[in-house]
Structure 1
Amino acid sequence: MYDVVLLTLASERDAPGACGSGGACCGGATENDGSSTTTEGDHCVTDQPRVPVLACADALTARGARVQTVTARSDAEIDAVLAQLDGPARPDGLVWPDTDGKTRLVVATASDGQLRAVLRRLVRRYAPAPSRRPADLPDNRTLPYLPPVAVLPLDPARGGAQRDLAAQLGLPRDPATVAAAVLDGTPRRLDLLRNDGGSVTLDGALLGAADDAGRPLHWRARVEVDDTVLTNGDEPLLACAVGNAGGYASLDDVTLLAAPDPADGQVEVAVAVPVVVRSAFGRKRVRLEVRRARGRAVSVLPREGKVPYLDDGVEGELTRKRSWWVEPGAWAVWVV
């Protein structure tokens, strides 16, 4: 039978009073890569497990699984859980996931950023340094196949119009069905985006700024996908979408990404460029031109100032060049 760990993340950005004055009891996974500072997750979770977590634990226990519930408040506490997924010691000394382990992980998520926080720690645990790249690593990847995870969404509303990543992937939201996927399901392999800031992207990123009234502001950057230059940085942009899945496929009523596929081994990128055109009567008007490209890697180089962005729902500011690249099939989810 399986040992199942139900992992919930606590975040420092909790609702006032949820964990005392100012949320002092809540930790969080924060990344600082030198060009931006972001905090993973946007909900505080107390030591008392949420109702969906308890329901999932009951369903697993009823099937004979040994269940452990953990609320992690730091990267170190996440790492302690992930260590249970390690495989046997290797001759080369690398820490490697167990490909035939009996321990399975369920990540209870209040946001896509929390799921990303766990995957980021998995990557940091198992990705070898370039100088220690083993011969059994696939040629098109920098890390091994990561252990599959089950996703237990904590916010039922995100399965509707707001559509979190679990909804996009068609993953179960009912705790009993999630438990069935963990015990009886199969892994569904998905692409992972790594970036040179040390983090990962599961869904996608949207770069751009808006004023206090919500109107998009112009900014400039060089955007390049493999050998294709979508813009060289001399013209204004309204938005840039970097898509692994489809969470940032549209901006208002504008379609940015045509067909993002989280399992096709490619990243889809789009930029929205306002272009001035003249009508037959000589009148000027602004038309939004969307340019798209697909490839293995993308780089964005801001030409001036800071460029705000959302990456898997996590806010940040880009101040220097950022590159994303695809790790095909690197992570996986349990599906029924």
Structure 2
Amino acid sequence: MATFATPDQLLVIIDPVARRTDGESVRIVKDVLSAGATTKVCLPDGPEEFARALARRGSRRPVVVGDDRVLIRTVSLLHRQRELAGCVLSMVPVGGALALAETLGVPTGAVAAARAVLDGTGRRLDLLVDDSDGVVLGALRIPPLVPREDRPAEPVGATAVSGRPWLRSTYRSLVRTLAPRPARLAPAPPGPARLRVEVDGATLIDLDQPVEAVSVTPGTAGRAEVEVRPVSVGAEASPLRVSGHTVTVTGTDFRYRTDAGVTGPVRRRTWTLQQQAWTLTLPPVLP
């Protein structure tokens, strides 16, 4: 259920990267917000000062000014402090990486986003929380595993001097001087992953069937949307799509990409959907 914003005091936390990359937009945002509400502007120099400012917000409504990275950091801090559910968060996107903010419905223009902070509504949104207390606001993706690069073989003749360290060092120096530098080998192409994907305890795909990719996103009906793309053999394999509350992925040293970047390698991870776990101020819905 949406909650309507009311005139209140704002704590405007401006990320230092936003100040450096687009000072004009930051100035416009401050002017618009200060003209429509009582504001306290905070200019932290780094993540630690950012966290302290957020923790000391008191009754002020936090407004973060920055890119997707700043939004993710803010939600993660509030989640770890167990204050996310009771906080109405606002964001004004400034910077280069704004895909997540746009996906969530935040206007990407400085003036429009600042007006949405003042006139918008707080909407409850779902998110994913993993078993290491990490949060996912947008999409979780498990890309194909990438095999190690082949390592160049040791020059012929090196084994002949392996028992004499001083002679081996001299030999390698001579080889580097006389021989051309070997060409760097290109990375091997991505290979399929072998993963077990379980949704609400039921196995969707097992380790015996390789997959090209797995994606998990918070849905719109209080359930996580899961898509698994098996490796096709002959005819193209259809994606497997289900929804559920808990998703567990098991495999050998897999990595996954979330809003915050790439994590891993891990061998097992479980994500649980938390319904209406946080509130973001968005423009009012037009009739």
TM-score range, shorter chain: 0.7 to 0.9
Aligned to 1:328: 275
- Give the TM-score, by structure 1 length: 0.63
- Pairs within 5 Å for 1:91-102: 101=59
Amino acid at match of 1:153: P
CA distance in 1, matches of 2:88, 2:221: 18
Q: 3-state DSSP class of the match of 1:242?
A: strand
- Pairs within 5 Å for 1:58-77: 58-71=31-44, 73-74=46-47, 76-77=48-49
| 8 Å CA contact 1:190, 1:328 repeated in 2 | yes
Structure of larger gyration radius:
2
Superimposed CA distance per residue, residues 200-239 of structure 1 (whole angstroms, 9 cap, x where no aligned partner)? 0000211023656795421111111103311121211111
Aligned to 2:132: 197
Aligned to 1:115: 71
Q: CA distance change for structure 1 residues 229 and 213 in 2, over 3 Å: closer, same or farther?
A: same
Aligned to 2:240: 291
Name structure 2 gaps, 5 residues minimum. Answer: 1-6, 147-185
Q: CA deviation at 1:197?
A: 1.2
Amino acid at match of 1:4: L
Q: 3-state DSSP class of the match of 1:287?
A: coil
Whether 1:4 aligns to 2:29 is: no
- Pairs within 5 Å for 1:1-336: 2-9=8-15, 44=17, 50-71=23-44, 73-74=46-47, 76-86=48-58, 101=59, 103-111=60-68, 113-126=69-82, 145-155=85-95, 158=98, 164-209=99-144, 216-244=190-218, 261=219, 263-276=220-233, 285-302=234-251, 304=252, 306-336=253-283
CA distance in 2, matches of 1:310, 1:157: 15
CA distance in 2, matches of 1:125, 1:157: 26
| 8 Å CA contact 1:300, 1:321 repeated in 2 | yes
Equivalent pairs, count? 238
Superimposed CA distance per residue, residues 250-272 of structure 1 (whole angstroms, 9 cap, x where no aligned partner)? xxxxxxxxxxx3x4211111111
Q: CA deviation at 1:313?
A: 5.0
CA distance in 1, matches of 2:250, 2:97: 36
- Give the TM-score, by structure 2 length: 0.73
Superimposed CA distance per residue, residues 13-50 of structure 1 (whole angstroms, 9 cap, x where no aligned partner)? xxxxxxxxxxxxxxxxxxxxxxxxxxxxxxx5567973
RMSD: 2.6
| 8 Å CA contact 2:18, 2:66 repeated in 1 | no
Q: CA distance change for structure 1 residues 49 and 156 in 2, over 3 Å: closer, same or farther?
A: closer
| 8 Å CA contact 2:142, 2:214 repeated in 1 | yes
Aligned to 1:25: none
Q: Which has the higher contact order (CA 8 A, sep 6+)?
A: 2
Amino acid at match of 2:125: L
Higher relative helix content: 2
CA distance in 2, matches of 1:67, 1:49: 20
CA distance in 2, matches of 1:122, 1:72: 19
Identity of aligned residues (%): 27
Point out 4+ residue stretches in structure 1 off by more than 3 angstroms: 44-50, 155-158, 210-216
CA distance in 1, matches of 2:46, 2:255: 27
Q: CA deviation at 1:240?
A: 0.6
Q: CA distance change for structure 1 residues 85 and 325 in 2, over 3 Å: closer, same or farther?
A: farther
Name structure 1 gaps, 5 residues minimum. Answer: 11-43, 87-100, 128-143, 159-163, 245-260, 277-284
Amino acid at match of 2:207: G
| 8 Å CA contact 2:92, 2:114 repeated in 1 | no
| 8 Å CA contact 1:191, 1:264 repeated in 2 | no
Superimposed CA distance per residue, residues 65-98 of structure 1 (whole angstroms, 9 cap, x where no aligned partner)? 2231333522x42332222345xxxxxxxxxxxx
Q: 3-state DSSP class of the match of 2:239?
A: strand
Q: 3-state DSSP class of the match of 2:64?
A: strand
